[in-house]
Amino acid sequence: KMNWDLIIMSIMYILAGGMHFVRPKMYVKIIPKFLPKRRTLNLLAGAIEILAGVGLLFSETRFYSAILIIVMLIAFFLVHFNMLRGEEYSLGVPKWALILRIPLQFGLIWWAYVYIR
């Protein structure tokens, strides 16, 4: 059964993933410098987000897409904490918004978890 929240989640990840290709420099800037091949990692992350978003729309792949989203969101904590290191990494986003994004990330993980139960 297709729920509106599932469609919204799918669109959200497809659009977010697409932004990795539209604005790659912005994303590469927030990837921690100790990670290798940050441009490649950015494009890979975008492709995974798009793939997972599309996969949510099909009952046969929904479970795997939700797991992929959870793993991706856990990995993205690294980027979120890196952005808290200072203005060089924050893209001008206020610190309060960066801090608020951390509990939001847990909410997104829970939202994806709903589809693997």
pLDDT at 89: 81
Tell whether the model's pLDDT for residue 2 goes beyond 90. Answer: no
Per residue in 57-68, pLDDT (tens digit) is 999 999 999 999
Query: Which of 4-13, 43-52, 80-89, 102-111 is the least confident region?
Result: 80-89
Rounded to whole angstroms, the Cα distance separating 10 from 83 reads: 25
Residue 1 has pLDDT above 70, yes or no: no
